[in-house]
Structure 1
Amino acid sequence: MLHSKAGWSPVLASASVGLIGSFLPVNSNMRAAIYSGSFAGMCSSELVSNYWEIFGISLIGAVIYLYSLKLFQGFGGKLGTIAFVSVALFYLIKGSII
């Protein structure tokens, strides 16, 4: 929403969320989930039009993240992949409902 409401670039908005999340007093898994969510938030504002849709993408991403905690440890790109898959699944689900 920093992109669509405040006029920030998607990259700046994602980096800001990741930076703020890094200072929260939570464990490293939670920080990773916050940063993955910020990647998912970089999707087009034409796809996401309200907060419920952001919640849907976040829920899909959280489930994928929880199921993949033990998978692909040590491999790069896991958070971006989770963000991509959660947005893609949301897009497919939204398209089949409409």
Structure 2
Amino acid sequence: MTSCYVLHQFAALPVVLSAALVGFAASFWSIPRAYGNHTQAAVYAGAFAGMCSSSFISTWQAFAIVCVLGALFYTLTRSMFEGIGGRLGAIAFAAVGSVVLVRDLL
């Protein structure tokens, strides 16, 4: 998530290109087979969350909470929704949406 957000906000790359670069870089990581493709999937879910606008997530504290929630949601749904498209985007939406909702309610 951090890489996508930084590439978009500070390097002024388009958000889709930023997410694509993060996903592309993660595809080359050497991960033990015991983890399957969960590491790359988690990175790409974070890239989706990092695509959010800085008007939604503007502080590093909110950013850290989105990261923790995204990791939690990914871990909880890891064995669910296998083969169903949109799971990673839904996880990113739920993480960012939760933080924005709580922030706006408080």
TM-score by length of 1: 0.91
CA distance in 1, matches of 2:95, 2:41: 15
* 1:7 matches 2:12: yes
Moved over 6 A (4+): none
Q: Which residue of 2 aligns with 1:59?
A: 68
Structure 2 residue ranges without an equivalent (≥5) = 1-5
Q: 2:59 aligns with which of 50, 58, 78?
A: 50
Q: Which residue of 2 aligns with 1:91?
A: 100
Report Cα offsets for 1:52-72 as digits up to 9, x if no partner.
Answer: 322111111110000001111
Q: 2:28 aligns with which of 23, 32, 42?
A: 23
What CA RMSD, in Å, does the superposition of the two structures yield over aligned residues? Answer: 1.1
TM-score by length of 2: 0.85
Structure 1 residue ranges without an equivalent (≥5) = none
* 3-state SS in 2 of match to 1:94: helix
Taking only the aligned residue pairs, the percentage that are identical comes to 37
Aligned residues: 97
